Structure 1
């Protein structure tokens, strides 16, 4: 057989193996997410939302959050105490940076 054909066959086998491992990881992540449903908050349950944001904030320093969002650390602190006293844009930016997917329905 032609050496180029053998080389291509090896590349195909390698890609196939890589695709298989990526799909297995994706399936594993989907199975894990079933055990961790998306948090939902009733519109008037501000305390649960704030508690979840503060819990997630522990994984990142205030300075890193400030650098990543261009929102001052004092504004972030104030928002984490009471999100109703900040702009919606700032709230959504911080929530997104903390890995929270939030949408607003009318």
Structure 2
């Protein structure tokens, strides 16, 4: 392949990638706005993990894709969904953010 073709394909890939990021952001925003109880307090960490997992499934994100998006291994993701207390808070925050879940809101 010549350099012009490579440059053109690289530009197209970057453009499509940016468009996918925008669409993902819009999808997460729309889902967050329509999610019941998104602003509720977190009283039970195991239930919160289950809510995160339900959110992941509702968005159609499999564990492998979430691993790529967050940098969190599949085994750790499973622990987050089972019992978030068993992983670092930063990991829970990264997973929640990737799923469009807000942990705090201004009152």
Equivalences for residues 19-98 of structure 1 within 5 A: 33=33, 36=36, 38-42=38-42, 44-58=43-57, 59-98=60-99
Q: Which has the larger radius of gyration?
A: 1
2:12 match: none
Question: What TM-score do the two structures reach when normalised by structure 1?
Answer: 0.57
What's the counterpart of residue 100 of structure 1?
A: 101
Pairwise CA RMSD of aligned residues? 2.7
Structure number with higher relative contact order (C-alpha < 8 Å, ≥ 6 residues apart): 2
Take 2:51 and 2:80, find their aligned partners in 1: how far apart are those partners? 13
Which secondary structure does the structure 1 equivalent of 2:76 belong to?
A: helix
**Structure 2: gaps spanning 5 or more residues:** 1-28
What TM-score results when the alignment is normalised by the length of structure 2? Answer: 0.57
Runs of 4+ in 1 over 6 A off after TM superposition: none
- In structure 1, stretches of 5+ residues that fail to align are 1-28
Distance across 1 between alignment mates of 2:67 and 2:102:
19
User: Any idea what SS the aligned residue of 2:100 has?
Assistant: coil
